[in-house]
Every structure is written in structure tokens, then in C-alpha cells.
A = this chain, B = another copy of it.
């Protein structure tokens, strides 16, 4: 028995299908949309269609873009000889936030994960190899997440890249800035000791 009108139920279903949105939240969101002005509702719907139709992957680095190349690959000031490999587009944003890195990126759109049936052909590894083979790349920095799958992906890629003679590096592990030794987990602390640097 549905007591909500059918098109409201449909909208609730759409919201409930989004990740992390339960049935109750979906109802609240749908009611919110009903309370929007006609213009606001239309611009919400347009935003979905626009994002879907305008956004595609940069043919070089696979990051999301609306232009032919992404703004980083298109920039003449970025160092094309350094490629930072990340798993998701949002990771690019995280690194850019630091205003420190001046190279380019390569977005894998995932990590290797045998448990979830994600193999080398399911993420953008081939595109990275082509890029390294056809351009003068001095260094590839592995910036996948420091978890099991991110580690395994970085390890796998570094083996694939070895024949090209390119330097392959990994982000440093260690204690986060501003944290506390007492609350740092053992694995991180061990890595911080291993990776100690001269002062």
C-alpha cells in the first residue's frame, strides 16, 4: 500500500539508491525537493544532466574535466616529467590543496581488489604505461591510499614501470603533523622509525 503519490515514491526511490542514504533520509530529501521553487527544482535536475553530459575523463591523466584536456595537463607551468598516481579524482583535489606539488597526475579510478573482482584491466593502468612509454617521464610518485589495496596497487605498478627505467617513488609514511606519539598506532610508528631522516 503506497500512500504517497507515485511520483513522490519514485523520487524517494531515486534518493534511496544513492550511497549512504537510507529510506528515511530519502523521504526527507524528497520532501525538501517538493518544497523547492519550480526554478530551483529545474536547476537541480539540469545540474544532474549537465554534469553527466559535460564531464568526461582527460585523455592524458584520466582526471575529470569538461575541456578537451584537464586544467592541469593543459597548464604550461606544470612539470610534465613527474606523474603522481592517485586512485580517485578527489585525491587530486587533496594534493592540490597543499599548493606544493607542481607535476601532473594520473587517476586510476580505483585500486586493484581481487575481493571485489577489480583487476588490472578495470582501472586505468594501460593509459599510465602508454604515457610513461611515449613521454619523457622522470618520476612516477605512487600516491594511492596507505591501505592494503592501495599498497598492493602501488607495488604492482612499480613492477610494471621498472622496465621503462623511470624512477618510482612512494609517499612517505610517518606520524601526522600535529599528532601525538601516545595515540599513534604501532604500524605507523614503526614506519616513522624506519623512514627517519637526518636533522
> On chain A, which size bracket covers the interface?
35 or more
Query: Which of A30-38, A77-85, A185-193 touches B?
Result: A30-38
SS class, residues of chain A in contact with chain B: helix
- B43 contacts A14, CB within 8 Å? yes
A34 to B19, CA, bound (A): 13
Report A45-62 CB contacts with B as 1/0, cut-off 8 Å: 111111111110000000
Instruction: Return the chain B residue nearest A66 by Cβ.
Output: B5
5 contacts between A and B (CB under 8 A): A7-B66, A11-B50, A31-B89, A33-B48, A33-B51
Residues of A within 8 A of B (CB): 1, 3-8, 10-11, 13-14, 18-21, 25, 27-34, 36, 38, 41-55, 64-67, 71-72, 88-90, 92-93, 96
Closest 8 CB pairs of A and B: A5-B66, A45-B45, A11-B51, A41-B52, A7-B50, A7-B54, A45-B48, A11-B47
A28 to B20, CA, bound (A): 9
